[in-house]
Amino acid sequence: MIRNDLRKEARETNQIIIHVDMDAFFAAVEIRDNPALRGKPLIIGSLPGERGVVATCSYEARKYGIHSAMNIKEAYRLCPKGIYMHPNMEKYKSVSGQLHEIWNSYATALEAIAFDEAYLDVTEYAENFDGARQIGHEIKRRVREELGLSCSVGIAYSKTAAKTASEEKKPDGFFEIPTAQDFVNLIIDRDVRELYTVGKMTAEKLYATGIRTVRDIQEKQETVIRLLGKQGQWITRLAFGIDERKVTPYRPEDAKSISREVTFQGDVNNYELLKDVLVLLALCVEHRAKRYKLHGNGVTLKLTYFDMKSITRSRKTSGCDNAAMIYREAMDLLDGVEKRPVRLIGVGIYNLSGEEERQLTLFDLLSDAEKDRNTEMKRLLNSLQLRYHLDFAGHLEQIYQMDTLHKTVEYMRKHI
C-alpha cells in the first residue's frame, strides 16, 4: 500500500535542477597554473611528514588509491613519488568567485555546497529539459574557455537526482535524469549508500537486516522505517525518487555556529601555548562574525588529544561577537579540562543572531566598553609579539587566512 502511494507521488514534479561539480578542483587549478604538473600524481593537503589529510588530488593520484580525507601518511605510503602541495585557499576562493559568476547567470537560485560545487535552479530560464541541456553545455563551455577548468554537470528533476547525475560520468561528465522513474531505473540495484543521507553507519544498520540495495528498501519499507524512524521515512521516499527539496541559496545568518580550529604538527603539552593560540582563534572567529553582522550566544572549545579522543566544552553567554569575550570564555573552559597532550584546538560561537536581534548586555552599557575590549586584545597581541618575536603590525589581516594561521601557530609551537 505504501509502495503504490509513493510511486504515484513520484510522478509529480515541476522543477529542473542542475548540479555542477568541478573535477579535482584544487589540483586542477594548480595544474592549470603550472602545466608541468599535468599528468602527474598531485596531492593537495598536508606534506609528507606533517599531520593532516588529503584535501583533494589529481586523477593520476587516484589511480594509486588516494582520495580526499585520507591520512597524508597513508597517501605517501601509496604514492611516495607523488607531488605534495599545501592548498592555496585564497587562490581557490578567487576562482570559486569566478565560477559563481558564470553559474549565477543561468539560475534563479544557487545553493553553493563548497567552493567547487553547487545546485542551480534553472526551471525558469530553461523552461524544459531541452533548454536545461543547452544551459548545461553552455556552463561547461564557459568554465573550460574562460577559466581553463573542467566540470561535471548533472540535470534532473530533483537535487538528489541531479547530484547522482553529475557523478555518473566524471570527470568532465554530462548526464540527465529527467524523471523519478529514470532515477529509480538507474539506481534500483545499487548499494543503499547511493541515496542521500545514507552514510557508513546507516548503511551498516541496513546491511544487518539484509537490506543492501535500493530495491531492498522499496521491498522492505516497513523494516526501514521501524529501524531508522524519520530518517527511514526519508530514505524510503528517496528510494522511489521522491525529493521535493528546493534550491536554497546559502545565507551566513542561517549558520548555527562559527568556528576555527588548528591541528598541531606535534602534540602540545604546554597549556600556556594553547591559551596563546586561543587569542588568534578568537580573532578569526570575531572576523567572520563581524563580516556577517552575527553574534553568538555561547562559546565552544574543542580539543582533540594525542590519542584522537575529542571533547567539546561550551558555555552560554549573550551577545558574544568580539575576540576579547570569546578568548576569556574559551580560556576559562580550557582551564577546566583534563590536562593531556593536545593534537587539535578549536574555538567557536553558537546560537547565532543578527545585529537587530541582539540584546545589550551589562558590559555593553558600561562606558568605554568597546575601548576596553580593544585595549585587552592589543595587550594580548603585544604579549604574543614579545614572547614569540612576531610582527603583527600591518599584517594582522593575514592571520584570518588558514594557511597563515597554521604557519604562525607552528612557529609559536617551535619557539615557545
Cis amide leading into 252 (omega within 30): no
Tell me how far apart the alpha carbons of residues 101 and 133 are, in angstroms, rounded to a whole number: 19
Q: Following CA atoms 207, 208, 210, 213 in sequence, which dihedral angle do they give, to the nearest 10 degrees?
A: -10
- Active-site choice (111, 117, 176, 194): 117
8 Å CB contact between 56 and 44: yes
Residue found by looking up cell 606534506 in the block: 47
Sequence-ordered list of residues with C-beta below 8 angstroms from that of 127, at least 6 positions apart, any chain: none
Length of the chain: 416
Sequence-ordered list of residues with C-beta below 8 angstroms from that of 139, at least 6 positions apart, any chain: 18, 20, 102, 103, 106, 151, 153
DSSP, collapsed to helix, strand or coil, labels residue 296 as: strand
**Active-site residue, 253 included:** no
Alpha helices in 86-191 (DSSP H): 89-104, 123-126, 129-147, 159-168, 180-187
8 Å CB contact between 295 and 315: no
8 Å CB contact between 324 and 299: no
Strands 151-156 and 174-177: parallel
Please list the active-site residues.
117
